[in-house]
Structure formats: structure tokens, C-alpha cells
Structure 1
């Protein structure tokens, strides 16, 4: 059996994605546009209308927060070239308000600039404003400071949460509103909240939803909007023969059509076939639009990743992390160009017999094993396409001429029947290995195979045939990309009534080496800031307050946003010997006793073994984490959700760890806990078992503790699903809310510990599986001493005061003296330089071979966290952050590993040749 917490996590992730259960499927409606916006964006049951024209929405999921702003234009153009006419974005709260009241909308955070760029690219935008996001993003997008605000309960009717979310909306929503399509901008739809357990579409089950709606509208949102999402799935059309629904007042739309997944890198031909089929099902069965999540994944720069990811968020997307185009890209392109070519049919059609979509503009017949057949479609006045046997990639109107691009397997038949004023006309031909044209006045038919179709691009009213990708194009020049090292293939440009072969320049040079060895390296131990750094007045006040606190504060309570923190205190041993410090912690930690590292330990066990001499000792603990949980499906207080660093009461006890796992649990279902723990112990219960059949329910979980050998006992709970109220011998001693969160209970009341000692836990489960997820440990403590006087400072520690690096005469082969005296396991800094071409078509990665956990910077830009958690070698370096020479590479390794094996590698499969063409 899988551990219950794992099942719960999977269930809530699926709830986050799969409509949050049946409730989300009930309502996939969209709030209509305000009257002022309806001439610009409107809908009916059959489809969307933008500027009064039937428009099929082919949307690409992309996060501006995961792409440097210098590359926004490049990534958007790649999506536009694939036929996308829209992008869908999140506006992560912690990306824009990392510190309370300090808003950032500049540079990489400039939402207004991004939305205006989308408009200049002749694309639309769907904006998901939160305040919750998911997206495998740190803390689900909640600012770290929010978890330390008293009384905050997220995603519920809660005045403190609404206060802070409302303040964020006060800054965010006016930017979105100013960029609405009715104000000359790109925004056509807005999503409030995201994948909420209770309300999707237009459902508003409580006043929290009313608050979001009223706030958005009061701040100027006039385009259509909805809650949480519409039809999130990896196969949105599923097995339904039709997506038409006469009871639904709006079109069918999928705002998250998942392609590949966030634990993968790259895509295969099999993926392309899978997602092509699922996309064609949407088009064929009456869908009016879809958004691929993700079409371009990008990177988790800085500390933005959640605990499932590291630096890469490639997602196996159509456009790779380095801008490369995958097989799914070309599959998406074929479907997108077709849907947009015949959007006046698809956005105003009904299902007809024989697999038809029928519209006043024409008919399209779909079949799973055959290309769609277009019938009775008017191309130009007096020219109608009566039928087409063979796939149509796209239609391009070029002045008075229409070019129809058709494709199929070599040797397959292409037949088109037309009605002209002078009578019927048929074109009947066979696909060859090379493209060719045929037709008649007013219509040009371009016939090609599938590979050439992938090499065909619509640029304005021109068709470019030949390259793997077309970038910028002017009247006289054209930039293309092809496989790295491939010979330059010819390029033809089809304009009205003409086709020309353009003249190629030399391709960009392939780098001479695929791996660069940097050096020489400088290294230095990371020094604890708690002893060596002068404190500001504010920090001194905070430290004084913390010194009188009974427990260490969780990481982030000082406002630091990194994934690291240092803790220090003093411990006193009345006699020499072994001791155990009992303190809760998360992820990873390194402890130093009187300046020297102690033996390894697992901080998640909550036990740090110490060997102390008699008297006082200095204890320092460096803690680090790999990203915070995205809090999928989480409602309620987040102050204790996925805490990092050290937290909870710290006790020093004499001797080795005293804990053992409790056995012999029994369980009784209940309706509430008003009557207190029952005398009946109930039926046997196994830890990790679902006690509620995946439904809401309550129950008592009980066990008799071994006869304590000491007057104080401590109970360590790793996770209870969902809420737990703890009783000892009928007395309530502790209340905990939330699942998959560790907590401890210390009991030292003599009357409470009257023998026998019975532990009763009342568990409240509100969704999916429930019970006690992980083992509960009990320890009898003899004369425990409360350890206080804790100081904490977030961050990596003091960075070395390195001077600017001079150009090295030779590469170093030995470890620098500064690092040679370091104690193994001590967090450390490393620095070097390297040379690499900043050509945007080359994909460079920093390969952290030999390192443990940590972060990498190039020229001051934080690439993100390593090690990667997906099958990709190294951290992506955006070309816009590179210089031709003297690129500074800085590594912070939390485990104190040697950086001399680190290299810079060229990802050849993702890299491309760039070629500049001139018009003849």
C-alpha cells in the first residue's frame, strides 16, 4: 500500500487539475463581458467573437516569470509561428510582491510590457490573476510573508486574507484592465482564483468568491471572466462524442490541456501523435478553443521552484527551455493552422450526422482515421471549395489569390473540387517528395508531404517553405533556423502570384567544443552571519526578541527569501556524555558544535545527536530546502504548512534518541468529538490506511502508550490527514490543522499521565483519503531541558569579498588555498570564469558534476537550484545573460562539495544554426 499522505497528495493534485471533483464539472460557465467590452470580445453557445469576428482560440501556456524579458519576443514569435493566436499566463503574487508592500512590476516582472508585447505580436492573452496559482511554483504563489500574518486563512471567507489579496489586486488588476481588448490591448479573458476545491466557472459557493468578483469588476475588469478554470485534463475531449451542450450559455474551452508533464524533458514522435490526436478530437467534436499547459515551460530562476522541481520547468513543451522546437510543436502547428483557417465554420457550428461540423460558412467532416474533409466553403467571391480529399494545413489570402496548402504521405492522393462561375473544376494530383503548385486564377494549391508541411510557415500574407523555423522577416531579409550542423537547405517565399528562391548567407558557426572547462576556481567557506556579520538595529531588535522566545522560528520569519538559514544557540551540559537535541526541522541541515561539524543526521527525524563536555557549548545549524510545497487544494491557515528550517519547541535530553514507533492502533468512526474519546477502542487500524473510503468523515484513532519511564513524554506526528485533535486520557492537549505537516506534543502533567496512558486522536477528513498518514513516535523524556536563546538569519551566509577577476594566464589544477583549509561538509562558495558564445540559437548548460545541493549564478543572474529533478543535464543559461568572454560563474554548494568538476556543456540537440537570407 502506498503511504496515505502520498495518495492524498496525488488526489489533491488531481483535484487541483481534474476539476476539483464533480463540483467543478457541474459549472464550466463564463461570466459575460460588460456591455462596453462586448463589441470587442463576446461569445454565444457556438463560439467566441473577437472584434465581431468568429475566432478559434488556440492558446499557449507560457509564464513571463519563467523567461527573461529579453527573450519574451523570441518565445512569443515561436508560438505565433505555430499558429497560436493567444497566450495564457499566471501573475504570481510572490513574483510581484516578494516583500510586504514592496511591489515589483519592472524588468522581468513588467506585466504591462509583456501584455503590450503580446498585442504587438497580434496575439491575445488570457490572464490568471490568482491569488492562488499552483503551477509547481514555490508556495503556490503566496508571498512568504503572508504565512506570518495572524489570522490568515487562505482561499476562504477571511478578512485578513482578503485584505492582503485585495491590496495586491489593487496594484495588479489595473494593469490587466488597461490591457483589455476593448482598451486596445490583448486581454480577452480573465481567470479569478485557480483550481479551487469548491468553485469553478461561475459557481460562487461563499463570500470569498463574491469578494474576488466584486474586487475585479470594481477595478475595471470588463472582459469575460471565470473561476478556477475550464476543462483541465490531459485529454479534454475524452470519450465524449460531442462537446456541444445546449444548456451551456458559452462555448466549450479547455484552459489547461496538459501536454507531456512537469517531470519530463523534451518530447518524442509518440508524444506528438498522442497530443495531435487529442487536439483533433477537440476540434472535431465542437470545442471552441484550448490552451496547452505548457506550450513553453521555461525556467525556475532564483528560488521560485517548488519541492517537485529544480531550475528547469521544461515540461516537455512544444518550445523547449532553450527555445528549441520539439515534435509536439509541429503537431500543434498543424492543428492550429487548420482550426484558424476554418474558424468561421468551427465557431458557429453544430454536430451533424456522419461526423460533420455544420455551419452557414460550410461543413467539415471529421473521422479518426481520415483527414478532415472541408465542403461548401467559400474562398473568394465566386469561388467555392466543394470538397477536399487530403489534409489542409492552412489557407492564406494573398491579395486576390488564395493559397491552399495541402499535404499527405508521398504517393497519396490530393483531390479538390471547386465551383466557379463557369462551372465545376477538379484538381486531382499525387503527393511527391518535393513541393509543387497547381491551380487556376484566384486559387493556388501548394502540394507537399508532411515533412515539408512542418517546414512551411505563414508570415503575414507570405508563405515561407524550407527551414525548420522562420524568425524575423522584413521585405528584404529573413532569419531562419535549422538543425545544428545541417547543410543549408533552399528557402522559397510564396507571395501573390509569385514564388522566389531567396539567397542564403553563411550559417552561424558551430562551436569548436561541446564542453568548456572553466577555471581557475576560487573557493571559500560560507561563514555563519550570526557570529561574524554586524547586525542592523532592526536585526538586533529581532534577535533580542528571538533570544527570549522558547523555540526557533521557521525559515522565512525574518523576511529572507532564499532557501537557506542559519540558527545558533547555546546548550549547557551538566555532565559530560551523549545528548540528543529534539527539534523539528525540514529538508536538510548541517550542525556545528563549538565550530566543528558533528556527525551526519536526518533533520526530518527531529533528533540531533550531540556528544557534550560538561559546561556551555555553541551550537550552529545550517538548514536548506529544495522548494516549498505548491499547496494544491489547500484551504485554511498556511503558517504551519510545509515549514522550513527549524521550528517548534527544542528540548535537550541526556542519552541517545529515546523514541519508538507506536503500535496497536484502533479506530472508531464518529460524527463529532463533543462526547470525547470513546471507551470502545474500535477496530484494528494500520497506519497509512484510508479510514474514510475517500469521503468526508470523522473518527477516533486510539492506542495505549507503554508505561512511561519518565514524567514527561513527547509525541511526534509526521502527518495526520487532515486535522487532528490530540487527547491524553480524555484530556484535550493539542489541536493541529492541515495534512502532511509534522507536529509534536509534549505532555508533562502528572494527572494527565495517570496509568494507563491512552492516546486518542480525533481526525477530521474533508476530501479524498484520510487517517493517520505516517507512523507516530513516542519518547519518554528524563529531565528534558528547554533550549532557548535561538537566533536565526536567513540566507546562504556571508559571501566572500572577491575582487573582480582578472583574465587568468593558465587554468588552476589544484584547490585554492582559501578552500584547502575548509572542513568537508561546510557550505561553501566557488567562483570562476568561462567563455561561451551568446548566440541565442546555442543552448549552454552549467553541468554541476560533483556538487551536492545549491545554486548557480552567471554574471549575477541566478539560474536556479540544482540538482535537477528531471532527466536533463545541467542548468540552462539564457543567451541574453552571456557575454562573449569573461562570464562569471558563481556556485554556492550547501553540502560543501568541490566545484572543480563543473563544466559548461553545449546541448547540441537543442541548439540550432541561424541563417540570414536576402531577397533576390
Structure 2
């Protein structure tokens, strides 16, 4: 049945053929053309890298066995200011889709309008915050008016590139993770409207959702662990459609001041992928496969505590690094995707089964799948050490299988390799291809491991040279051959013949299987032993050789002798050895400094209270808030900021007094002198919430500011029955009763409670309304002035997760509001910059020039900037914004795209909030930049 707006409800949609590629699906998988396809999906965002890097990243995904790309479309990139659309250069998403098609990659398009993605404001343009009566991600007329205008721009780009129009877009997602917000009537109406809006604009490939279903769409699941549970949930909801992992979280994002997010190791990554395959998923989207970079100010802010701001790098600990480099996770993704290619039909046709028919000893969990007399077992070790386990299959066939702690190893049980030949083995099957006249089987294993192989054939199995065959045993009729093959550094290649069919078995150890590359064009070719590989635009293949201890080799029609290649001038060369003279890194010239003279700064329209970034028409950057305070004596004062959503530095009379990290509402000590005082707050836009029930917060400082306030930490000394508990400590056991605590207020005091609150909060017996609050948000700022009284007040709160990182009471007297504020953007403040001879210290700009040293053609360098010794600010390269920096970790180095460099006269500008000396800042190439690339063949 064809999918059109007229037959959405109550129909099973299976066929999406138009004049283009036929796309069908059933409960087992998507069917493209006439073939079931296991979707190995690489999540890659075109807007997180220069356009010049797209091909390299997409090719790397293709070489890792990915056959599909999924990408978000970022509305705020394409309409940064209202009505000003940009689909050019790095923002030419249509060209990105065309390149995917050129490389033979299917595409899942995710146009939003909300994308999350740890991207500023979840992809919404900042100026939407200023629209009257707007509410985001709901059935709200002002909001939807702009959403559909965005659809009018973005959908035609996707529509013309659908598989039904001879393009490669096979699926389009409706919104993103809406199920996390709930499914009320307004939300359902909103999602229905978005779905219909896509259909009415010509989307006719299947629609999908993730984490939240919608009639007429296929729902996927987003997760890292718990594959069986997620699969079962999808089966109960939609048993007759494919099961996709729409986001399989390969790593995690990082935020300023937190540890590096490297907790998901490559071994655990393999296990989680195998769990997805074992459960029965027919597609896995690796989010992220390549993360990229949050250039400009596009890094977002997410829920949790108050100030979880994304770092500039979106490396994500993904298979491809931020610089497009191969990692251990990349090699693991390639290994598992090759496994799904080698066993694609079986995986997509098979059904789960229990462990009847196979037995193993204690410490191994067995689960299986079967189809057409073939079986695949997943053996999971529950032990703490690597062991060799004996597994007995039907008919008493016993084979040893080596499994690391927690690892899931696939066991092939009479899998059809080619007509008349079955394979049983504990080796990891990564290749089963007909190459010329030879059926080529590639099995991988750990270094030094012994792989047990059993072939069973309809005819006698012969081998070319018995002296080259490892220890083996043949059945009396010659139709069963058992081999014990060690996984050596030098691959073992065993040549057999079954009837007229020639068979080659290539057994690899871990090192060589990590460096095995499958290339598919007119036929299948394999390359072994190369550290890295690339496909050039002219059809050529480049490679970097690996260890000199192992000679690389080729299988298939390369038109070359084994181990040979050509250098960049076309000369024949040997591929062993990859070291060259290290590249000379660019050298920065002497820094030129300009200091911001805060004391002389003037400008900006006066207002009663500070105004935020969106109110002032600013997407990102810095604001400097200014006020004048008269004092009749020297004094210390508590300054209370009732609405602040970014870190800020307090300056009084041109000198820094405090760094304010707490947001929502905050306080700081301010020291004033007798007479006139110039009070200034330097605020950097650190990213709008990208995932929250409360999207659209104003940024900067945008509420009243009060003098003579007070601040009290409320994390300690709570009453829990007869016990005193402290919420800044860990409490593993549930609290036995509601927590209570008293606090005192003076007459005329107003109050704000800010931090990790819990639903059910009560002040003096009245429940406090926490609009839009979600328990997983763990942060809120609420004005409780209407609930408090002079003197003693009681706060009650249900049990909360501990420890709390903030729970604070801010009080103030409205009569002490500090009025008369102006605000100046840092860009406008630049005219007040002076050289260091005329002013001692303060926020500063530094500029330096550098040339790009000569780069040999046979290397592929990647440049980094290390910001040692600096504080916080932003970076510009030849006028392009490289993003924010903040030297509190975990990010130390910043990407400098080679595509944005000139041979001569590159200008690097940095702004540092504290004006620290940048003499320790340096440019350098990454470790893989010195590798030599050779051309294996030319088109």
C-alpha cells in the first residue's frame, strides 16, 4: 500500500515505491530493491565540520561497513536571523545529501524542528524566544507558524533526494525524542501536525520517530544498554515493522569542568553492539559515528545541575575522532558491521530460540537464533577472567571457544557459506564473499588464540597442499573437515576445493582483523594490514601501512602484485614502513595585545533592569552590563541576581572581584568604595538548553538585581524524623519520612529557592508550583516570596537524590533594587580597547599571525591549538569563530580546520576574560599527521 495522507490511519504501510528505488518493509527488516538490508547507520552532522571534510568523514564511514548515514538539520544554522536563509557553503545540506548518494550511502533525514544534539537551543533559532505568546514543542499557533515556514524551506531539499525520486533518502524522522516530554492531547496534536506537514510537502518514504510513537510512523529506540528490553517494548507496540536503534550511544558529550566522557570502552562498545544483534534489531544508528565540533557558539546546555554547558569539541568518544581519525572504537564498529554483512540474510530472516540444542559449562550464558536449519549462538562470559569454554552443539559436536570477561562471542552452527558447504566455528566471521571464482571466508580472533573450524559439505573436501594445512582431521567420507588454526600475526590462508568450488579461508589475529578493509564496487576486494585507508574522489584508493612486522596484502582484482602500490607520482613502491620526517608545526608570531578599558566603557540604552541576549538581538557572544552605585562609605555588600543563566565576572571600578558560576539565581560579595562605583558584569553566552521541558530560556542577566541581599546554603541540617541528615552527602537508603528544615526571614524579605528541588515542595504547609518540572531535570529556580512570612518558616521536601550539588536560599528587599542598567556587546566594546602601555590589566584580545609550513602531498595532517595558561573566552581564525574555550577541563586542545587555513598570513585572535598571557599557547599536528600515504591503485 502506498503511503499518502489519505490512508494514514489504521493502515499497515509496506511499499514505498515510486519511479525511484523500491523500498518495502515487513516485521523483519527494510527491503531495498529486492534485498533485505541490515542498516549499519553512521550518525554524522554536516554542520559540525567544514564542507571540505565531508567526503573524508563519509568515506571513513563507508569503509567501516556503514551503508547509511543519519543527519539532523539545524534550523538555527539555516535561519540565524529571521527571514535570512543560508543553504550555501558549509550549510549546503543538499550537497551533503548528494555526496552521500555519490558514495552509495542511504540517508535517514532528521529535520526536527527540534533536534537536541547538544546543539544550542536544540536547533531552534534564538530569535524565536522573542515571539509573543510562543511555546515550544507543543500545539501552539505562533510556534507552528514558524515551524511550517521552516518546513517550506527544508522539506523540498529532502523531498527531491528521496529514494522514490532516485535519491538515497530512505527514511524521514518526525521531531525528536518527544516521548520524553509525555503524550498529552496537545503533544499528540502537535506531533500529528508535524507528520501531516511532512506528508503534505511531498515526503513519501517511511516516517520514523524515536523515543515516542506516532500513528503512521515506525518507532525506534535510543539507548546504550538494555537491548532486550528496548526490543521487547518495540515488539509490543509495533510487531509488524522493522526494529531500529535510532540512536545507539557510542560515547557521550562532555561539559565544562567535568571529567572526560571516556567511560564506554571499545570492548564494551562491541558487547553492546552484539546485544543489539542478539536481540533482533535490524538496524543500528551509531550516535555519534563522527561527532565533530561545536564551532561559533553552537554548543548547547543540558539538564542536570544548573550549568552543564557543552565544550567546543563534540568528539563524543566516537568511532571517528573529532579530527576524522580512526580509533579503537572505529575498528570495533568495522568488525561488527562486517559481521552483519557476512551474515546479513541470516540475521534478518532468523528467529530467536532458547539454548536447547547447545550446552556449555558454568560461567557462560547462551542465546541463539535460527533459520532454515542454520543456527547462530551468542556465548556471553560471566567470568572475571578470559577463559576457553567448551560448547557442545547438537549431535555431540563440541568446540572450544575463547571468551574475555563480559564479551559476547558468536558461534556459527552449520551456517551456509555457499551452496553445499556449511561452517561451524567460534571464529568471528567478518567476510564471506565470492571474489572471482573463489569463495573467500575471513575469520578473526584474538592474538594467539586457537580458532576451531568445521566444514561440512555435500561432496568431499580437498585441499591444495597438505603441508600448508594446520592440524586437521577429515571424516572417512571426506565431507567433514576439522581444523585448529592459530590466530598468528601472519595470517593463515587455507585453500580448499569442494567439487568445482574453490574456497579460501583467511584466519586473522586481532591486529590484522583491525586492519582488514572490505571495498565493494563492481566486485568485492579486500586489503589487509593497512593502518588507515581512504577512497579518493577520482576512484583511487590510498592507504597507510601498519607495522613492519606484518606485510600488507590484497585480495581481489586490484590490478597489482601483492604488497605493491604507487606513490603520489604514480611510481611503484613497496608499502612497508610509514615513518617520515615529522612535520614542522606552524609557529605563532609575537602576540599583540589590546586590553578592554572597562572603566571608560560607555554605551548601550538605559533600562530599569538588565536585558538578556535575545532581548538585545544577539545570538551568541558577550554582554557587558553597566551600572553606577553611589556609597557614603566603604562597604561590603551581597549582590543578588534574580535571573541569570550564564557564568559572569563581576568588576567594580575596572577590577575583577568575583567569578559567578551559579546560575538560575545567584549572589556574590561586592566590595564598594566611598563615592561613585562603576559596577560591571561580563557575561558570555554559554549555550541555551538543548534538552529540557523548559526550552527557550533567556540568556545572560535579565531580571532585577538587588543590593544588601543574603544567601544561605540549605543542603545540610534537615530533619528526617528524629534524625538530622545532610543532603550534600550520599544516602544509599531511602529516607524514612519527608525532610523538613526551618529558616528565618526579616521583614520585607523576598526569597528565591534555587537548586536541586523535588516535586512536592511545600513552604509553610503550602505546595509550591514547579511549572514544567521534571525529576530528571534536578534543577529549578523558584520565587517563593508568596509563601513566606517574617520570622520562622518551614520548608518540606520529599526525598531527593543525593548528594545535591546546590540548594540555596537567596533573600532580598525589593526596595534595594539596583536600577538603571545599560548593556554593550563585546563587539561594540572593542573600540574601548587600548594597548598594554596605557592600562595594566583586564579582559584582553590577543592576535598572532602564522604561515603554514610546506606540507608533502603524501600526508594528511590535522592541526590543533593548545590553550595552556589561559582562562576563558573565544577563538577566531581568519575571521571564523572556532568556538568557546574554558581552561577548567576536560577540553585542552581545539580543532583548527585545515580547510580554513591559508599558506601565508593566517590570523589567530583570542579573547581572554582575565587577560592572561598566551605565550604558552601553541599549534601542533596530531600524532597521525606524520604517516605516509600511498596510492594502491588509480581509477
TM-score w.r.t. length of structure 1: 0.78
Report the alpha carbon displacement of residue 201 of structure 1 after superposing the two structures with TM.
Answer: 12
Contact preservation (8 Å) 2:625, 2:680: yes
Distance 1:562 1:67 in 2: 19
Distance 1:583 1:233 in 2: 39
| Structure 2 residue 880 is matched with structure 1 residue 890 | no
| Structure 2 residue 645 is matched with structure 1 residue 583 | no
Query: Helix, strand or coil for the counterpart of 2:242?
Result: coil
Report the alpha carbon displacement of residue 189 of structure 1 after superposing the two structures with TM.
Answer: 1.9
Report the alpha carbon displacement of residue 515 of structure 1 after superposing the two structures with TM.
Answer: 6.0
Give the structure 1 partner of residue 334 of structure 2: 333
Give the structure 2 partner of residue 215 of structure 1: 197
1:348–1:736 CA distance, 2 compared to 1 (3 A): closer
Contact preservation (8 Å) 1:86, 1:124: yes
Contact preservation (8 Å) 2:742, 2:795: no
Give the structure 2 partner of residue 348 of structure 1: 349
1:437–1:600 CA distance, 2 compared to 1 (3 A): same
Query: Helix, strand or coil for the counterpart of 1:215?
Result: helix
Contact preservation (8 Å) 1:31, 1:202: no
Matches within 5 A, 1:103-252: 103-198=85-180, 206-229=188-211, 230-238=220-228, 245=235, 248-252=239-243
Report the alpha carbon displacement of residue 205 of structure 1 after superposing the two structures with TM.
Answer: 6.0
Pick one of 596, 606, 613 that aligns with 2:674.
613
Matches within 5 A, 1:550-565: 550-565=608-623
Distance 2:832 2:659 in 1: 32
Deviations 1:194-235 (A, max 9, x none): 223457999996212212221122222222223334232222
Report the alpha carbon displacement of residue 694 of structure 1 after superposing the two structures with TM.
Answer: 11
Distance 1:493 1:333 in 2: 18
Report the alpha carbon displacement of residue 84 of structure 1 after superposing the two structures with TM.
Answer: 0.8
Report the alpha carbon displacement of residue 597 of structure 1 after superposing the two structures with TM.
Answer: 1.7
Report the alpha carbon displacement of residue 374 of structure 1 after superposing the two structures with TM.
Answer: 5.7
Matches within 5 A, 1:26-41: 32=13, 35-36=16-17, 40-41=22-23
Distance 1:358 1:198 in 2: 35
Distance 2:912 2:722 in 1: 51
Contact preservation (8 Å) 1:492, 1:502: no
Matches within 5 A, 1:267-306: 271-306=265-300
1:700–1:279 CA distance, 2 compared to 1 (3 A): closer
1:886–1:486 CA distance, 2 compared to 1 (3 A): farther
Deviations 1:729-752 (A, max 9, x none): 98x9998665624355678xxxx9
Greater displacement, 561-570 / 584-593: 584-593
Contact preservation (8 Å) 1:509, 1:913: yes
Report the alpha carbon displacement of residue 139 of structure 1 after superposing the two structures with TM.
Answer: 2.6
Deviations 1:179-204 (A, max 9, x none): 22111222222222222345799999
Distance 1:392 1:757 in 2: 74
Give the structure 2 partner of residue 792 of structure 1: 823
Give the structure 2 partner of residue 719 of structure 1: 755
Report the alpha carbon displacement of residue 336 of structure 1 after superposing the two structures with TM.
Answer: 0.7
Give the structure 2 partner of residue 520 of structure 1: 590
Deviations 1:242-274 (A, max 9, x none): 899487111222112222333486979x92322
Distance 2:282 2:428 in 1: 20
Pick one of 819, 830, 841 that aligns with 1:824.
841
Aligned residues: 825
Report the alpha carbon displacement of residue 449 of structure 1 after superposing the two structures with TM.
Answer: 1.6
Greater displacement, 504-513 / 401-410: 504-513
Give the structure 1 partner of residue 435 of structure 2: 398
Distance 2:190 2:169 in 1: 24
Contact preservation (8 Å) 2:111, 2:174: yes
Give the structure 2 partner of residue 253 of structure 1: 244
Give the structure 2 partner of residue 434 of structure 1: 490
Pick one of 257, 262, 271 that aligns with 2:253.
262
| Structure 2 residue 554 is matched with structure 1 residue 492 | yes
1:877–1:201 CA distance, 2 compared to 1 (3 A): farther
Greater displacement, 218-227 / 735-744: 735-744
Report the alpha carbon displacement of residue 239 of structure 1 after superposing the two structures with TM.
Answer: 7.7
Q: What 5-or-longer segments of structure 1 have no aligned partner?
A: 1-28, 534-542, 669-680, 803-816
Contact preservation (8 Å) 1:575, 1:613: yes
Give the structure 2 partner of residue 309 of structure 1: 310
1:214–1:758 CA distance, 2 compared to 1 (3 A): farther
| Structure 2 residue 529 is matched with structure 1 residue 466 | yes
Report the alpha carbon displacement of residue 386 of structure 1 after superposing the two structures with TM.
Answer: 5.5
Matches within 5 A, 1:868-907: 871=890, 873-907=892-926
Distance 2:65 2:185 in 1: 33
Query: Helix, strand or coil for the counterpart of 1:302?
Result: coil
Report the alpha carbon displacement of residue 880 of structure 1 after superposing the two structures with TM.
Answer: 1.9
Contact preservation (8 Å) 2:651, 2:681: yes
Report the alpha carbon displacement of residue 589 of structure 1 after superposing the two structures with TM.
Answer: 2.6
Query: Helix, strand or coil for the counterpart of 2:619?
Result: coil
Matches within 5 A, 1:739-758: 740-742=779-781, 756-757=790-791
Q: What 5-or-longer segments of structure 2 have no aligned partner?
A: 1-9, 212-219, 301-307, 358-366, 381-402, 404-408, 462-476, 568-572
Report the alpha carbon displacement of residue 174 of structure 1 after superposing the two structures with TM.
Answer: 2.4
1:318–1:550 CA distance, 2 compared to 1 (3 A): same
Contact preservation (8 Å) 2:581, 2:930: no
Distance 2:229 2:138 in 1: 35
1:341–1:498 CA distance, 2 compared to 1 (3 A): farther
Deviations 1:328-379 (A, max 9, x none): 2122212111212322222222224545433359554443455431635363
1:236–1:504 CA distance, 2 compared to 1 (3 A): farther
Greater displacement, 160-169 / 851-860: 160-169
Give the structure 2 partner of residue 479 of structure 1: 542
Distance 1:729 1:516 in 2: 66
Matches within 5 A, 1:753-768: 756-757=790-791
Report the alpha carbon displacement of residue 801 of structure 1 after superposing the two structures with TM.
Answer: 12
| Structure 2 residue 701 is matched with structure 1 residue 646 | yes
Matches within 5 A, 1:496-895: 500-505=562-567, 510=580, 512=582, 517-526=587-596, 531=601, 544=605, 547=606, 549-573=607-631, 578-584=636-642, 585-594=644-653, 596-600=654-658, 602=660, 604=662, 605-607=666-668, 609-614=670-675, 617-631=677-691, 634-636=692-694, 638-639=695-696, 641=697, 643-653=698-708, 658-660=710-712, 703=742, 705-706=744-745, 708=746, 712-719=748-755, 721=757, 738=773, 740-742=779-781, 756-757=790-791, 774-777=806-809, 779=811, 781=813, 784-799=815-830, 818-836=835-853, 841-867=860-886, 871=890, 873-895=892-914
